[in-house]
Amino acid sequence: MPASPAKQIGIWGNTEKPAFWDILPHITSWASENNIHLHLTTRIVENTTTDIAFDYNVIETADDFHKLDFLLALGGDGTILSAARAIGPRETPMLGIHLGTLGFLAEVTVQDMFTALDRVAKDDFIILERMVLKCIVNNGGESMEFYALNDITLDRGSSHRLINSTLYSNGNRVARYTADGLIISTPTGSTAYSLSAGGPIVMPDLDAIVVTPISPHTLTLRPIVIPDDSFLEITFPDNPTGGIALAVDGQVQETLDVDAVVNISKADYKTKMITFSDSNYFDVLSKKMGWGRRGE
């Protein structure tokens, strides 16, 4: 009986963390023992301080993700967010390994990593599809397009003034906000910045959009959850100056003029996250966020 073809696994890591370089040799040994062929990002190859003494391919373009059975993302939540944007619509499943401090998205710890990898190698896993936001910005005659797994944030940037913004959904005016800004999040992002600003927790397998104002100058404006088929438009009337800051997953930043128009909707693809049948979202909330616990 012929041997099964080697699985193709990519590694995306936070190369600034010493823990990444400590764990990499153990991953390569595991790959060798399990008929796994590794693909490394150019960042890993360029930043290594020692010779890489195993056979590998280099992920040089985004289309190289098509060659992978799954991508192993080693770091914190920021590492997973950047990997998700890099994969984009290519639908490569991703498994997050927590090397950071909170690691809410990366539910697998270093201690449990090889148990999880053994299960993935045996196809003992499930795929959780997570909604992605598409954001098109028209700013000063220039059009820009972004995608976010967590959130799109619009705030006052370096200004000390509140900003005025008006939100429309499917052409209908929702509200005018005078606040430090707005957070437009996915269910995945509902446990990130939106939660800190008072937004609700939304289960990651739901399709919905959460709009959370940041420090609104009123008691009447509260977070709202709207259907995933909504097309949102945000404008900034009556602001004396520009300098409005847009952030994508807290990692990509742009500065907007007062006449900018921001359009946000559900992307036509989802990010595929690897999880396991015995994984419990509420356990993760409790362990990592303290959800449901009484004060001690």
What is the set of active-site residues? 77
Amino acid type, 102: L
Burial class (CB in 10 A: 0-12, 13-18, 19+), 18: exposed
Structural tokens at position 28:
């390569």
State how beta strands 94-98 and 108-109 pair: parallel
φ/ψ region of 72 (left if φ > 0, alpha if ψ in -120 to 50, else beta) reads beta
Bridge partner residues of 161 (DSSP): none
Alpha helices, DSSP H, located in the chain: 18-33, 42-47, 77-87, 113-121, 193-196, 281-289
